[in-house]
A = this chain, B = another copy of it.
Amino acid sequence: MSKKETILHAATRLFAEKGFKETSIAELSKTTGAAEGTIFYHFKNKEDIFLSILEDTRKRVIEEFDRYLEEGEFDSGLNMIESAISFYFYLAGMMEEQFLLLHRRHPHELAEVNPVCREHLEAIYNCFVNGFEQAILLGQKDGSIRTMSSKRTALIIFSMVDGLVRFKTYNLYNAGALHKEFMELCRRMLQKKQIQE
């Protein structure tokens, strides 16, 4: 692994766990073994490191999502959105540090003044929201999902799923054990044919 990559990896972890402002270049230098000068040789400033991380995250998320779409076999739209939700949970576990970073306020605040940052964030979020929407549209076509605004429902689903992941990272409660129930509740609110009890 090149020195630049080493710096990027360590920065991802530090920014995710401690925050952007709370991580100093001196600390980044110490944990990577790279001199401070080396860091500024590869990146023009601290913010540039952050944007590079975001760019990598974006690439990785889209890459993983595309692979998921290729590999997956879905027998209905409802089935597809369920697996899309599961995939989100899976990815949040696989890319824990990056998701931690995305759940911080800093990227969203930066996005308000930095178009590059904004573009990365939107690309990442759109990836999931569009994925959810496609599944809903498919489900409405094949009759597994009831009729409603696909766009708005996709947004709500996304906010729900993301809310649960966030809930888990803040771990005030043990939210890890809620996955199964959560999926069941999602199914109920989406499906057309309802089980009469």
List residues of A whose CB falls within 8 A of some B CB.
19, 21-22, 103-105, 108, 111, 121-122, 125, 129, 146, 148-149, 152-153, 155-156, 158-164, 166-167, 170, 172-173, 175, 177-178, 181-182, 184-186, 188-189, 192-197
Contact = CB atoms under 8 A, between A and B. Distances in A.
A51 to B, nearest CB: 17
Contact of A105 (B19, B111, B122, B149): B19
B164 A166 contact: no
A154 to B, nearest CB: 10
Contacts of A21: 19, 21-22
Please tell me how many copies of the chain the complex holds.
2
B155 A159 contact: no
Contact of A181 (B148, B164, B166, B186): B148
A175 B155 contact: yes
